[in-house]
Chain A
Amino acid sequence: MKEYSNVINKSDPKPLYSQIADWMSEKISTKEWEKNHQLPAEEDLAKQLDVSRGTLRKAISSLIKEGILIQIQGKGTFVAEPKVSHPFGQELISFAESMEREGINFETKVLEKQVIVPKASVKKKFSLTDNQKVLYLKRIRLIDNEPVIVLENYIKVDLCQGIEYVKFEQMPLFEAIEKFSGQKISFGTRQFEARGLEEEQAMLLSMPIGTPVLYLDQITYLDELIPVEISQVWLRSDKYSITSYLQRD
């Protein structure tokens, strides 16, 4: 009856429910429980684990929150379909938002932040007048102290007055743009290319010149088709993958 009673170690300081949740996650990751696998009835499983139903429910609900299990009213609890990893290729979310969603701890370093009259190529993309200024930002993102992304952004300051005073170590850029423009970002375009690292980016990413990375060119728009930000991003493709989930109608 208590066939799973060795799952729980009562002398372990870890709460019982989280021991159970770990055990279930393990069964799912080893495919012993495949997607759509139905879990035994709560009452039976609680008996087999030799825990109260309340403890078991807490374990299940923590995995439901993580999207690992799903519960269907009147039918039971099932292993959920695995999620798409990085929806960055299909949804307009920032890197920070995408990493936060994935629960990845990252750090942002601001290398440069200044209001400038930008170079001609940026002026052209933005259709700026001759002396129109932008906020230029150069940042790197680190995961586990390792630099993985270099970002250069140009933001139209006249649309987001005061944004130059934001500490971008703390506030994600998209959030700052929405706050300081008082408008919602409506959409953006992203163009992906494979590129070899040039000297400056190679130095920042601590990788040899010419290492292949993913490069992307982005334009972000406010409502009414007003471009507010353009950026150039270099991503270490060995560390960061981008997934698009495409559905055929």
Chain B
Amino acid sequence: MITKSYTVQEIASKIQHTNVNPDVSKEDIKKLCEDCMEYKFDGVMLQPCWIEEAKAILAGSDVKVCTALGFPMGGLTTASKAREMAEVVSLGAEQVDFMPNFGFFKSGMYTEFENEVKEIVKAADGRVTKIMLEFGMLTQEEKIQAAEIALNAGVTYLKNSSGWGKGGHATVEDIQLLKKIAGDKALVKASGGIRDYESASKILNAGAVLLGTSAGVKIVTGSGQALSDY
């Protein structure tokens, strides 16, 4: 495999700088957004209640405002998720990472699982959607099956994990698998455990085009602390 070496700036442009901690403060959100502008990250990822705040801070910049939906458990009803999607879209979220229902999936309720993904994608009304596939909870067969269902349901991105709880960390093998399944029909976002230049570079080489991480500043400056374990 040909390995591309990325400049720090190239890596920065793939990072969605993330803080979805439950105790994040307004001050933290301000800093998160300012870091995005300073280091030229692709986007900021935060909980839905901070979308308007972030839109105001980032007005006029190229940083995308992204949010996480149905997060972190994915157990809301399909109707709630669709309403939540409609609301975050109306608030101005440009990209939405969402939790599907792995309870349905693990119960063999594949039709319900797929229908929910379709409802969420429909409610996104053309916005970029990214499904969090929580690979940490799935067998190898289930990974392929869940990713296939998501692809058929029309998501924009396949994402290996939310990076939270049992979702698991990004591995080169998992990102290569997602890239194979996605082909030219979807893109791949990686998250979980991407905490330095080296791991970011490996994951991009495996086929991801976006990185979700709370260690964006650490990755591009080589110093500092991650904002969470994500």
Residues in A lying within 8 Å of B, measured CB to CB: 162, 165-167, 170-171, 178-180, 182
B141, A167: Cβ atoms closer than 8 Å:
yes
Whole-angstrom distance from the CB of A1 to the nearest CB of chain B? 45
B180, A165: Cβ atoms closer than 8 Å:
no
Q: How far is the CA of A179 from the CA of B181 in the complex (A)?
A: 6
Whole-angstrom distance from the CB of A144 to the nearest CB of chain B? 20
Q: Which residues of B contact A180 (CB under 8 A)?
A: 180
* Size bracket, chain B contacts: 10 to 19
* Besides A162-B144, A166-B144, 10 new A-B residue pairs in contact (Cβ under 8 A), listed by A number: A162-B140, A162-B177, A162-B180, A165-B141, A167-B144, A170-B145, A171-B144, A178-B183, A179-B181, A180-B180
Whole-angstrom distance from the CB of B183 to the nearest CB of chain A? 6
Q: How far is the CA of A229 from the CA of B53 in the complex (A)?
A: 56
> What are 23 A-to-B residue pairs whose CB atoms are below 8 Å?
A162-B140, A162-B144, A162-B177, A162-B180, A165-B140, A165-B141, A165-B143, A165-B144, A166-B141, A166-B144, A167-B141, A167-B144, A167-B145, A170-B145, A170-B148, A171-B144, A171-B148, A178-B183, A179-B180, A179-B181, A179-B183, A180-B180, A182-B180
Q: Which residues of B contact A162 (CB under 8 A)?
A: 140, 144, 177, 180
Q: How far is the CA of A128 from the CA of B155 in the complex (A)?
A: 40
Q: How far is the CA of A166 from the CA of B140 in the complex (A)?
A: 9
Q: Which residues of A contact B145 (CB under 8 A)?
A: 167, 170
Q: Which residues of A contact B140 (CB under 8 A)?
A: 162, 165
Q: Which residues of A contact B180 (CB under 8 A)?
A: 162, 179-180, 182
Q: How far is the CA of A180 from the CA of B148 in the complex (A)?
A: 13
Query: B136-166 CB contact bits vs A (8 Å, 1 = yes)?
Result: 0000110111001000000000000000000
Whole-angstrom distance from the CB of A175 to the nearest CB of chain B? 9
Q: How far is the CA of A162 from the CA of B143 in the complex (A)?
A: 11
Whole-angstrom distance from the CB of A178 to the nearest CB of chain B? 8
Q: How far is the CA of A38 from the CA of B140 in the complex (A)?
A: 56
Whole-angstrom distance from the CB of A66 to the nearest CB of chain B? 23
Whole-angstrom distance from the CB of B207 to the nearest CB of chain A? 10
Q: How far is the CA of A171 from the CA of B181 in the complex (A)?
A: 11
Q: How far is the CA of A167 from the CA of B180 in the complex (A)?
A: 15
Whole-angstrom distance from the CB of B152 to the nearest CB of chain A? 10
Whole-angstrom distance from the CB of B71 to the nearest CB of chain A? 28
Q: Which residues of A contact B148 (CB under 8 A)?
A: 170-171
Q: Which chain B residues numbered 164 to 189 have a C-beta less than 8 Å away from chain A?
A: 177, 180-181, 183
Q: How far is the CA of A170 from the CA of B140 in the complex (A)?
A: 15
Whole-angstrom distance from the CB of B142 to the nearest CB of chain A? 9
Q: How far is the CA of A182 from the CA of B181 in the complex (A)?
A: 9
For A182, the closest partner residue in chain B by CB is: B180
Q: Which residues of B contact A178 (CB under 8 A)?
A: 183
Q: Which residues of B contact A167 (CB under 8 A)?
A: 141, 144-145
For B176, the closest partner residue in chain A by CB is: A162
Query: B177-205 CB contact bits vs A (8 Å, 1 = yes)?
Result: 10011010000000000000000000000
For B141, the closest partner residue in chain A by CB is: A165
Q: Which residues of B contact A170 (CB under 8 A)?
A: 145, 148
Whole-angstrom distance from the CB of B201 to the nearest CB of chain A? 21
Q: Which residues of A contact B181 (CB under 8 A)?
A: 179
Whole-angstrom distance from the CB of A173 to the nearest CB of chain B? 14
- Give 7 closest A-B pairs by Cβ, nearest first: A165-B140, A165-B141, A179-B180, A167-B145, A165-B144, A166-B144, A167-B141
For A171, the closest partner residue in chain B by CB is: B148
Q: How far is the CA of A179 from the CA of B183 in the complex (A)?
A: 7
Q: How far is the CA of A175 from the CA of B148 in the complex (A)?
A: 11
For A169, the closest partner residue in chain B by CB is: B145
Whole-angstrom distance from the CB of A114 to the nearest CB of chain B? 13
Q: How far is the CA of A179 from the CA of B177 in the complex (A)?
A: 9
Query: B110-145 CB contact bits vs A (8 Å, 1 = yes)?
Result: 000000000000000000000000000000110111
Q: Which residues of A contact B143 (CB under 8 A)?
A: 165
For B181, the closest partner residue in chain A by CB is: A179
Query: B89-113 CB contact bits vs A (8 Å, 1 = yes)?
Result: 0000000000000000000000000
Whole-angstrom distance from the CB of A86 to the nearest CB of chain B? 25
Q: Which residues of A contact B144 (CB under 8 A)?
A: 162, 165-167, 171
Q: How far is the CA of A171 from the CA of B151 in the complex (A)?
A: 12
Q: Which residues of A contact B183 (CB under 8 A)?
A: 178-179
